[in-house]
C-alpha cells in the first residue's frame, strides 16, 4: 500500500490509506484550496491592471501579473508537468504553453488573465462536479458508525457497526437510523425507506419484516436480528454500485476520450504550422502569427468537450440512486434512451406474485364465511402458497378459524383435517375424483373460472361438496398506466413472458392490456425470445433478478424489480429497482432519453463555439482574452447543462 501511495504522490496527486472504521470521504477537499488560490490570483491580477494604468513604472505591474500566474496556475502547471512526464498532451499542457508563450512575447497581462480565467473555470467545474457526488456522501452519512446491541446478559452495549455480526440483536430507538440489514424480532414502527427504495411514505414494520441499513425508524422501538454484516448491507452495495457506475464509461464518453487523446497533439502541430508557414514561407511578422497560434491553442482546448459527457452521466446516475434506481454504468444509461422493445416476466413483475382469493362458490346452504373458515382450519398447517392465500382471505374478513386436528397432506392433491368430529378435505379436482365427490352442481362456475385462468380449490366432507374457492395472482397496481407511458415514449414492442399455462397468461394479458405474450416457457425459452427482441434493436428485460437471470443477461439492459435486500438481483441486473413501483421503469427510460439529449446538446455547443472563435481568430477579430472566455464559458455551460439531470423528477 505504501508503494502505491508513493507512486500516486510522485505523479502529482494526493493519496492516503483508508481507515477501516470510517466511511470514505469522497468529497474533494481541494475545492476550498482551489477557490482560495483563484481568489488570490484575481486580486493580484486586478492590482496589476490598476498599477499598469496609474504608474509610470510598468515593472511593478509585471511582478503582480507574475504572482497572479503562479497562484492561479499552480494546479494547471503541476498537472501539465505530470502529463508531460507520461508523454500525454492534455488541456493543461495547452494552457501552459499558451500562458508561457504570451509571456515570451511580453503580453504579461494577457498571460495572467488566461491563467486566472482558466483557474476560475476549473474551480467552477470542480464545484459543480462535487454537487453530483453529494448523493453518495449523503448515502454514506446515513449509515451510523455505531450500533446498540443486546448482549447475552441482557444489557445494551454500543459497538462500532463493523463489529456487528449476523445473529446479533440490535436495538433502534425512535428517530434513529437503522444501522444494519435485518429482520424485526420485536416491536412495531413506521420506517422511512426512501434512501434505499425511493418510496415517498414511511412503511409499516412489525415482527418478521425486513429492514435496511440507512433507513429511519420514525416512531416505535425496534429489536432487529442482524442478517448481514455492515460491509454487505444493501446500503453498502448501493454505494459501491453507484461509485463503480460512475467509473464505467459510456460509449460516447469512451469516444470523446479517444478523440481528445489524438486531438491535442494535432492542435499543437497545427499551432506550430500557423507560425512556421506564414513566417518562414510568406515572410510575415513572427509576433502576429505567434499570437494567433496561442489563441488557436486556447480555443482548441477540449475542456468543454471532454467534460460534457461525464458530468451528465454522473448527474443522471446520482439522481437515479436517490430515487431508488441503481444503474450500473453509462453504457446502460445511454441504452435506456434508445429502447425499442421491452419484455416483462409475468409473476412478480406484471403480477404481485402473491396469490389471492378472487371468488367463493358455495353448495347446499353453506355461507361464504363458513366455507372460508372451514378451508382455513385445514390449510392452517400447510405451507403451500394457495393455503396462505386462503388463510389471508380468512384473516382479512375477520373470520375465526375453527380448531382442527389430525392433519394429513396428500402431495400434489390437497390435505385433510378433522373438524368437530368429521373429516374435511381441501384440494384439487383430482382429490375430489379419488374421494368420489361429485362437482356437477357447480360445473358452470367451474368451467368459467378455469377458462379465465384461476386455480380452483375444492372443499368437501366425506359425503359431499361444500364449495369452491378460486385463487389467482393479482396484477400489480399501475401496470396499465405504465404500458401507456411506454408506448408514448416510443417503445415499439411490449411482450409478456411466463412459464404459466395459456389460460392464466392470457387472462393476465387481457386484464392489463398486453397484446403480445408467450406461455409455458422454460428459462431457455425465455432466453430465445429475448434474443429475438435484441436482434431488432435495443431491448429491455424486466424480471425479479433470480429466476429470470439468464434472460436478464442476454438482453441489452436487464432490469430487476424489488432488489432491496436481494443479493442476486443487485448482482445480475444492469439496472436494479429497489422497490416494486412500476413507475420507476418509465423513470429509467425518461432519464436515459434526457441523458442522450443533453450529451448531444453539450457536444454541439462545445464544438460550435470553437468553430466560431477559430473563424474569428483568423479573421483578426478574436484575441487571447476572448478565446479564454469562449473556452471557460463553454465548459461552465456544458457542466451546468449536465447538472440539470440531478434535478430531474419522476
Q: CA distances (Å), 61 to each of 40, 505, 543, in order?
A: 15, 82, 68
Contact 373, 402 (CB under 8 A): yes
Angle (deg, nearest 10), helices 583-618 and 624-643? 170
317: closest CA among 254, 251, 252, 244? 244
Task: Compute the C-alpha angle 608/610/615, nearest 5°.
Answer: 100
Give the pLDDT confidence score for residue 152 in this predicted structure: 72
| pLDDT of residue 361 exceeding 90 | yes
Grid cell at residue 142? 446515513
**H helix intervals, 201-248:** 234-247
Find where cell 395459456 sits: 502
580 part of the active site: no
Give the pLDDT confidence score for residue 318 in this predicted structure: 80
Model confidence pLDDT, tens digit, residues 346-359:
877 888 877 889 89
The C-alpha atoms of residue 107 and residue 298 are separated, in whole angstroms, by: 15
Model confidence pLDDT, tens digit, residues 8-23:
555 545 555 554 344 4
Model confidence pLDDT, tens digit, residues 541-575:
888 755 566 787 788 888 888 765 555 556 667 88
What backbone torsions phi and psi does residue 209 show, to the nearest 5 degrees? -85, 150
Grid cell at residue 472? 389467482
Range in 183-187, 244-248, 294-298, 521-525 with the lowest mean pLDDT: 244-248
The C-alpha atoms of residue 577 and residue 324 are separated, in whole angstroms, by: 6
- Secondary structure E strands in 263-346: 325-327, 341-345
The C-alpha atoms of residue 16 and residue 8 are separated, in whole angstroms, by: 10
- 496, HSE (Cβ side, Cα atoms, 13 Å): 28
Helix (H, G, I), strand (E, B) or coil at 112: helix
The C-alpha atoms of residue 158 and residue 171 are separated, in whole angstroms, by: 10
Of the residues 168, 181, 345, 574, only one is catalytic, namely 345
Grid cell at residue 423? 373429516
The C-alpha atoms of residue 392 and residue 101 are separated, in whole angstroms, by: 81
Please state the rounded mean pLDDT for residues 73-97.
79
Task: Compute the C-alpha angle 623/624/628, nearest 5°.
Answer: 120
DSSP state of 176: P
Give the pLDDT confidence score for residue 24 in this predicted structure: 42
Give the pLDDT confidence score for residue 609 in this predicted structure: 81
Please state the rounded mean pLDDT for residues 418-433.
90
494: closest CA among 513, 507, 477? 513
The C-alpha atoms of residue 135 and residue 242 are separated, in whole angstroms, by: 9
Please state the rounded mean pLDDT for residues 497-521.
84
Model confidence pLDDT, tens digit, residues 486-496:
988 888 899 99
Model confidence pLDDT, tens digit, residues 114-148:
788 777 767 766 665 565 555 555 556 666 788 88
The C-alpha atoms of residue 211 and residue 178 are separated, in whole angstroms, by: 8
Please state, for a pLDDT cut of 90, what percent of the chain lies above it: 11
Helix (H, G, I), strand (E, B) or coil at 56: coil
Q: How far is CA 557 from the centre of its chain?
A: 13
Q: Are strands 156-160 and 146-150 parallel, antiparallel or unpaired?
A: antiparallel
Model confidence pLDDT, tens digit, residues 567-602:
555 666 788 888 778 888 999 999 999 998 998 898
Contact 575, 593 (CB under 8 A): no
The C-alpha atoms of residue 426 and residue 437 are separated, in whole angstroms, by: 12
Give the pLDDT confidence score for residue 19 in this predicted structure: 46
Please state, for a pLDDT cut of 70, what percent of the chain lies above it: 81
Find where cell 373458515 sits: 373
Model confidence pLDDT, tens digit, residues 596-640:
899 889 888 888 887 887 788 777 776 666 776 676 777 778 888
Grid cell at residue 626? 476572448
pLDDT class of 27 with cuts at 50, 70, 90: very low
Give the pLDDT confidence score for residue 442 in this predicted structure: 92
Grid cell at residue 544? 425479479
The C-alpha atoms of residue 372 and residue 359 are separated, in whole angstroms, by: 11
* Domains (range + CATH), the chain: 146-232 (2.70.150.10), 326-351+476-592 (3.40.50.1000), 353-474 (3.40.1110.10)
- 349, HSE (Cβ side, Cα atoms, 13 Å): 25
pTM of the model: 0.66
Task: Compute the C-alpha angle 236/238/239, nearest 5°.
Answer: 65
**588 vs 398 pLDDT, higher one:** 588
**Cβ atoms within 10 Å, residue 431:** 20
The C-alpha atoms of residue 3 and residue 17 are separated, in whole angstroms, by: 11
Q: Please give the mean pLDDT across all residues of the chain.
A: 80
The C-alpha atoms of residue 209 and residue 279 are separated, in whole angstroms, by: 80
The string of DSSP letters for 66-94 reads HHHHHHHTHHHHHHHHHHHHTT---HHHH
**371 vs 299 pLDDT, higher one:** 371
Give the pLDDT confidence score for residue 495 in this predicted structure: 92
What backbone torsions phi and psi does residue 380 show, to the nearest 5 degrees? -60, -25
Expressed in angstroms, the distance from the first to the final Cα of the chain is: 43
Find where cell 392465500 sits: 389
Range in 83-87, 420-424, 459-463, 548-552 with the lowest mean pLDDT: 548-552
Give the pLDDT confidence score for residue 384 in this predicted structure: 74
Q: How far is CA 221 from the centre of its chain?
A: 31
351: closest CA among 496, 156, 523? 496
Give the pLDDT confidence score for residue 387 in this predicted structure: 85
The C-alpha atoms of residue 262 and residue 156 are separated, in whole angstroms, by: 63
Give the pLDDT confidence score for residue 432 in this predicted structure: 92
Contact 207, 180 (CB under 8 A): no
Contact 592, 334 (CB under 8 A): yes
Please state the rounded mean pLDDT for residues 358-381.
90
DSSP state of 17: P
**500 vs 528 pLDDT, higher one:** 528
The C-alpha atoms of residue 574 and residue 244 are separated, in whole angstroms, by: 12
pLDDT class of 239 with cuts at 50, 70, 90: low
Burial class (CB in 10 A: 0-12, 13-18, 19+), 55: exposed
Find where cell 372460508 sits: 372
| pLDDT of residue 83 exceeding 60 | yes
Amino acid at each position: 500500500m505504501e508503494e502505491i501511495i508513493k507512486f500516486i504522490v510522485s505523479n502529482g496527486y494526493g493519496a492516503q490509506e483508508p481507515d477501516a472504521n470510517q466511511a470514505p470521504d469522497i468529497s474533494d477537499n481541494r475545492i476550498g484550496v482551489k477557490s482560495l488560490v483563484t481568489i488570490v490570483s484575481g486580486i493580484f491580477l486586478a492590482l496589476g491592471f490598476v498599477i499598469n494604468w496609474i504608474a509610470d513604472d510598468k515593472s511593478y505591474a509585471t511582478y503582480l501579473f507574475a504572482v497572479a500566474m503562479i497562484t492561479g496556475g499552480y494546479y494547471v502547471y503541476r498537472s501539465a508537468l505530470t502529463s508531460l512526464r507520461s508523454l500525454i498532451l492534455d488541456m493543461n499542457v495547452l494552457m501552459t504553453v499558451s500562458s508561457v508563450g504570451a509571456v515570451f512575447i511580453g503580453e504579461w497581462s494577457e498571460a495572467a488573465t488566461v491563467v486566472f480565467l482558466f483557474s476560475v473555470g476549473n474551480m467552477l467545474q470542480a464545484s459543480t462536479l462535487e454537487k453530483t457526488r453529494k448523493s453518495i456522501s449523503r448515502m454514506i452519512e446515513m449509515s451510523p458508525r455505531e450500533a446498540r446491541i443486546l448482549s447475552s446478559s441482557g444489557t445494551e452495549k454500543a459497538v462500532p457497526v463493523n463489529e456487528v455480526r449476523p445473529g446479533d440483536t440490535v436495538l433502534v430507538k425512535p428517530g434513529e437510523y437503522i444501522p444494519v440489514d435485518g429482520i424485526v424480532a420485536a416491536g412495531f414502527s413506521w420506517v422511512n425507506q426512501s434512501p434505499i427504495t425511493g418510496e415517498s411514505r414511511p412503511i409499516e414494520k412489525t415482527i418478521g419484516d425486513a429492514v435496511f441499513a440507512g433507513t429511519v425508524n420514525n416512531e416505535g422501538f425496534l429489536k432487529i436480528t442482524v442478517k448481514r454484516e455492515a460491509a454487505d448491507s444493501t446500503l453498502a452495495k448501493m454505494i459501491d454500485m453507484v461509485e463503480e457506475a460512475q467509473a464505467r464509461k459510456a460509449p460516447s464518453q469512451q469516444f470523446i476520450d479517444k478523440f481528445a487523446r489524438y486531438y491535442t497533439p494535432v492542435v499543437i502541430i497545427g499551432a506550430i504550422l500557423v507560425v512556421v508557414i506564414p513566417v518562414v514561407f510568406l515572410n510575415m511578422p513572427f509576433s502576429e502569427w505567434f499570437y494567433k497560434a496561442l489563441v488557436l491553442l486556447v480555443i482548441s482546448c477540449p475542456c468543454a468537450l471532454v467534460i460534457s459527457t461525464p458530468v451528465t452521466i454522473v448527474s443522471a446516475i446520482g439522481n437515479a440512486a436517490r430515487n431508488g434506481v441503481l444503474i450500473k454504468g453509462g453504457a446502460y444509461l445511454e441504452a435506456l434512451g434508445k429502447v425499442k422493445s421491452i419484455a416483462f416476466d409475468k409473476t412478480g413483475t406484471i403480477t404481485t406474485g402473491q396469490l389471492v382469493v378472487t371468488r367463493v362458490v358455495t353448495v347446499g346452504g353453506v355461507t361464504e364465511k363458513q366455507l372460508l373458515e372451514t378451508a382455513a382450519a385445514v390449510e392452517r398447517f400447510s405451507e403451500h402458497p394457495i393455503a396462505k392465500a386462503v388463510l389471508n382471505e380468512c384473516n382479512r374478513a375477520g373470520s375465526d378459524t375453527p380448531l382442527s386436528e389430525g392433519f394429513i397432506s396428500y402431495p400434489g392433491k390437497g390435505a385433510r383435517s378433522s373438524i368437530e368430529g368429521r373429516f374435511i378435505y381441501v384440494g384439487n379436482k383430482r382429490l375430489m375424483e379419488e374421494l368420489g365427490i361429485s362437482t356437477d352442481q357447480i360445473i358452470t362456475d367451474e368451467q368459467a373460472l378455469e377458462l379465465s385462468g384461476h386455480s380452483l380449490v375444492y372443499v368437501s366432507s366425506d359425503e359431499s361438496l361444500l364449495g369452491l374457492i378460486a385463487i389467482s395472482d393479482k396484477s400489480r397496481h399501475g401496470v396499465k398506466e405504465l404500458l401507456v407511458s411506454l408506448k408514448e415514449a416510443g417503445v415499439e414492442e411490449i411482450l409478456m413472458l411466463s412459464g404459466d399455462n395459456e389460460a392464466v397468461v392470457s387472462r393476465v394479458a387481457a386484464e392489463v392490456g398486453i397484446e403480445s405474450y408467450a406461455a409455458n416457457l422454460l428459462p431457455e425459452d425465455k432466453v430465445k425470445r429475448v434474443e429475438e427482441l435484441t436482434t431488432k434493436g435495443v431491448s429491455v428485460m424486466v424480471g425479479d433478478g433470480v429466476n429470470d437471470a439468464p434472460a436478464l443477461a442476454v438482453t441489452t439492459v436487464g432490469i430487476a424489480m424489488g432488489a432491496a435486500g436481494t443479493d442476486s438481483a443487485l448482482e445480475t441486473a444492469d439496472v436494479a429497482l429497489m422497490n416494486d413501483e412500476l413507475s420507476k421503469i418509465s423513470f429509467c427510460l425518461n432519464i436515459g432519453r434526457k441523458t442522450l439529449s443533453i450529451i448531444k446538446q453539450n457536444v454541439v455547443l462545445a464544438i460550435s463555439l470553437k468553430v466560431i472563435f477559430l473563424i474569428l481568430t483568423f479573421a483578426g477579430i478574436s484575441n487571447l482574452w476572448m478565446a479564454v472566455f469562449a473556452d471557460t464559458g463553454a465548459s461552465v455551460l456544458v457542466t451546468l447543462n449536465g447538472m440539470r439531470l440531478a434535478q430531474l423528477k419522476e
